[in-house]
Amino acid sequence: MKQTPLLIATLKKALKANHITYKILAEKLGMSESSIKRIFADENFTLTRLEQVCAIMDMDISDLVSKMNRDKPRISQLTEEQEKVAAADIRLLGVAFLVVNGWSYQQILDHYPIKAADLVHYLVQLDQLRVIDLEANNRIKLLVTANFSWRKNGPIQQVLKQHVQKAFLEGDIEASGGQEHFLSGMLSNESQEIIAKELKRLETLVTELKRNDQHLSIHERHGFSMAMVIRPWRDNILHNMIQEKDKSTK
């Protein structure tokens, strides 16, 4: 992604915060105000000129870049169209899961069967989707919030249900270190609403714990999934359980 427009926008904010107008800047640089306006409009700064402007605010260019990185907008969700692009490639989703959870380029290469060229290809796609900034030497800078999530019932969740949910439910869940709870019964609408609220609180807790654990290394964190569902029975469930079987069938 081009950095110049964002850097200039950050420079403008810094000048405004320091109460430095184009007229004041022109006087300090020995230029006309119209020339200053043209430089900003054309985003045509030489490195020397940028250093001079920063110096007026007692800043280095590195300070400006740091401020730009802090001010970069972060997203909590992709758009529907962005998710459709990502959902078209299951390998891209796998790479996205890793980078969102703090994996570096080298760590992915070391732990997963993917070629360097393919990994860079997927990282470029994530950069275009604005999930990350792909910086020099394949350094990954996240552009998503701590509570980033896929769209509810969106394209990516639909794909994950097809490719991940089946594998998630296979085998002995408890023997693999997980827990399995299956409860059923008959509840009032009010009781179902209480359970729904508790599930929402649990979802919030999981998000908070994920955020708290982000500072840990990948060796101290482990991938997990948790399914939380409450739904009314389909009308035919009890009917099929209770109905008399056809005695002619064996």
| pLDDT 10s digits, 132-184 | 889 889 999 888 877 788 888 899 888 888 777 777 777 787 887 888 888 88
Question: Using 50, 70 and 90 to split pLDDT, how confident is the model at 1?
Answer: very low
> Do residues 226 and 165 lie in contact, with contact meaning Cβ atoms separated by under 8 Å?
no
- Residues of 134-148 as b/e, b for ≥16 C-beta within 10 angstroms? beeeeebebbbeeeb
DSSP element (H, E) containing 167:
helix 166-169
**pLDDT, position 195:** 92
Architecture of domain 74-171 in CATH?
Orthogonal Bundle (1.10)
* SS3 label, residue 33: helix
Mean pLDDT of the chain: 85
For the chain, the residue count is 250
d(CA 11, CA 73): 16
Percentage above 70 pLDDT, the chain: 92
- pLDDT value at residue 215: 80
Distance CA 226, CA 203 (A): 10
Q: How confident is the model at residue 73 (pLDDT cuts 50, 70, 90)?
A: low
Residue 90 pLDDT greater than 90, yes or no? no
Strands (E), the chain: 132-134, 140-142
Locate the domains of the chain by residue range: 4-71, 74-171, 178-234
What per-residue confidence (pLDDT) applies to 25? 92
Confidence (pLDDT) at 210: 82
Determine the pLDDT at residue 246: 62
- What is the reported pTM? 0.56
Query: pLDDT tens digits for 8-52?
Result: 888 998 999 999 999 999 999 999 999 999 999 888 888 899 999
The Cβ of residue 220 has, within 10 Å, a number of other Cβ atoms equal to 8
Query: What per-residue confidence (pLDDT) applies to 203?
Result: 85
Residue 56, pLDDT above cutoff 90: yes
Structure confidence at residue 197 (pLDDT): 92
**Model confidence at 245: pLDDT above 70:** no
Per DSSP, the residues of 44-61 read ---HHHHHHHHHHTT--H
Give the pLDDT of residue 119.
Answer: 96
Is 60 exceeded by the pLDDT of residue 250? no
* CATH class of the domain defined by 4-71: mainly alpha
Q: Which residues contact 52 (CB under 8 A, 6 or more apart)?
A: 29
**3 state SS of 138:** helix
Q: What is the pLDDT of residue 248?
A: 53
The tens digit of pLDDT for each residue in 234-244 reads 777 767 767 76
Collect contacts of 156-160 with beta carbons under 8 A, ≥24 apart: 156/78, 156/83, 156/86, 156/87, 156/93, 158/87, 159/87, 159/90, 159/93, 160/93
Cα 23 to Cα 194: distance, rounded to the nearest angstrom? 62
**Helical packing angle, 47-56 and 22-29, nearest 10°:** 110
